[in-house]
Structure 1
Amino acid sequence: MDGLDPGLEALYLERKRQPHQAVATLANCKTLILGMSAAQPPALMAATADALKDRLIGPLAFYYLHGTEALRKTLLAPDLREFVTPRPLFLSHSDREAIAQSGSQNWIEFVPAMLHQAGRLLTEHIDPECFLVTVSPMDRHGYFSLGTNADYGASVIRKARKVIVEVNRYMPRTFGECSVHISEVDLIVEHDQPLIEATPSSPTDVDLRIADQIVHQIHDGDTLQIGVGGVPNAVLAGLTNHRDLGLHSELFSPAMMPLIQSGAINGKRKTWMQHKHVFTFALGDRKLYDFLDDNPSIVGYPASWVNNPDIIRLNENMVSVNSALEIDLTGQINSEQLGDRPFSGSGGQLDFVRGAYASRNGRSFVALRSTAQDGNVSRFVPRLQSGTVTDPRNDVHMVVTEHGCVNLKGLSIPQRARALISIADPSFRESLESEARSIGLI
């Protein structure tokens, strides 16, 4: 702590604890909130799991989004089932594995929520007794950084009754509303561990065919929100020759980095937060985290602001690109449920579907492959099989598959059904038309 003000150094040392010491203070805590994804603190989660097993604390209900492998191996371990009630607002691969391992779909209690409402939900409708989160090392002014995860963390950390931070030198220092002063922190644990990494896979030929149709409808000067998956990454890869693009995105991903480095994304023509690359959470590899570190052009703000449709619409020419699991012939989108099994969550998809379309000259794209299970199952169905609607049909704008792109705005139900059948897989079009007729859609 060379060069640190003696008063700040004394306060830091006074609040510093070993993980088990910090967790011992949760004896009376019933509701715990964890940081999201890369901000989930592995040492504190492991210590909490140990304390639960030893009956030193608990039982606990805990809330979070996008669980990590560290969470699966600690608080989501099968031998803790009687001591914890996990309540995620969005499911990850690790969460789905934990559900499968538990043998009970209802042990993990999914909480439906749009991301822009998560901060309010976790501070107003749920009592935020304690918040555990990973932060960057403290700077000479006494500030930690939430780094990769402003999301709901920037809201919860200022409302929780107790805040315990896990300081990790691998967490980048980011700007925006990510700074947290030591006076806002109750206890500090130090634990250096590389952040979780998510390396995007190479796009398939189908991904490239879908992406190409979207790329041709993105213009110089547009502001982008790009989701996660093969198609969104392929869209970004296709924008290398574009100029003066802006970024106002829920997710900051590795595929955005080369576009910023080349100047294709520079924010020059944004009408809101010009020259700034806005995000609410970041997930990628070590190269991405290094790129974020101390980069003043990249700013993280709470999801309550970034994902608010009224804020999104302030950028003219806003373009939103997201994925889907299933669509029915009236235009209802399901992006979170496979049959009766929860798969992910609504996240911020509807936030940007609405915000982008509300923007002047804005466009919202929902992209999906026309089939699943090696072409044996159509993703286009007469009625949603799951009953879960992520994007209501009133909100859906452009739908894209490898077979084409249709604009649903202004179309009647029969027109929608015909348009969507036209971009379904050819082998299913005849049966879809027959089923559409049988239920009165056409």
Structure 2
Amino acid sequence: MDKSNYIYTVEKITQTIPICMENTQYQFSEEFAKSMDAKDPMASFKSEFLFPKVDGNEAIYFCGNSLGLQPKTAKEYLQKELDNWANLAVDGHFHGEDAWYHIRKKSKPALAAILGAEEHEVVAMNNLSSNLHFLMVSFYQPTGQKSKIITEAGAFPSDMYMLETQVKFHGLDPDQTIIEISPREGEHTLRTEDILKAIETHKDELALVMMAGLQYYTGQVFDMKAITKAAHAVGARAGFDLAHAAGNVPLQLHDWGVDFATWCSYKYLNSGPGNVSGIYVHERYAEAKELPRFAGWWGHEEGERFKMEKGFVPMYGADGWQLANSNVLALAAHQASLDIFEKAGIDNLRRKSELLTGYLEFLIRQISGESGVLEIITPKNPKERGCQLSLLIHKGGKNVFDEFYKHGVVGDWRHPNVIRLAPTPLYNSFLDVYRFARILEQSLEKFA
């Protein structure tokens, strides 16, 4: 399909059902859901993924926020590299299609589009937690009074542990150094004004703002542009963990001036369990040889690498933060999904995502009514959320979750009483959302 028609058709849907629509414009009916799917130009991408089964039936999979589905082409992409290994062995590094020595470059165009970056600002490497540590070596340099770090309260545990141990590495006390910002009393999400106020309040002692781009528990998207601008205004740096943002919401890291970021590829980027991460480093640091870093030979100047000489000379851009040679099999699986993203387009996916998540929100509110059994803690404004909705369930709890799992819905339970649901635009449909709503309705009637 011509790309211009692709965009036009999605915009046509958006005009028919505005994103900031009143609930009455959606309909709680199978016919409505099917009609939306029939008009959806992204619908065909669902057939490019493999779905798990529950009791022999294809699941309604709303758990892409934890692990994305396998592209059907992943096996083919992996087999190609296995064949290269079998037929070329060591010569595969420099011969054959996509020689391994340069294989990292293949993912750069798609990653740059997804992250809103220049190609030299991104590279696929390592895993997320490792990358956070390596980036902190470069971008957290406490000096004198300026040593504090601002983050969100209730950050993902790996981020908390990483910040805690990085601070200790510098001989500082985490309780005195890490400033955690919490929602106001009675609220579930952070107000941007409160984050900016904290930056201003601590401006004389602030070295870094390091937080999620999209909060894993609540599903809130933070205003990374405003946060970065405020951090820079007080002489601090800004970095983001994009584990739940990459492939979910459009990003413009370069234009926002973000200093650094990292993400994982196994959630919305559908690249396989524990698969390769990636980093973004703004081009202002592309030749910043003075920045401290923990170096490895794959980050050394490529043309000089095999001279095996002392004296680290970093490559230009994000590539200079690489350590070991590329994990070829991991990158193959990663590329299978990235090629789908390039066909779909992140902006097209975002248009569908806002409609799909809006439909899920509408149905949940219709089911819950005035009962108060379900409370959506994810922001109502589509611009402040991705495709995840987090539900506080005040009655029935885990029994309700387990019941709808028995009926084929795969979601995510977080103690003590939160259900996370992620209707992912690449492989979920409006009919999926409708079918889930009926199953949720039955589960609540049984246990709530």
Q: What is the TM-score normalised by the length of structure 2?
A: 0.29
Quick one: higher RCO (CA 8 Å, sep 6+), 1 or 2?
2
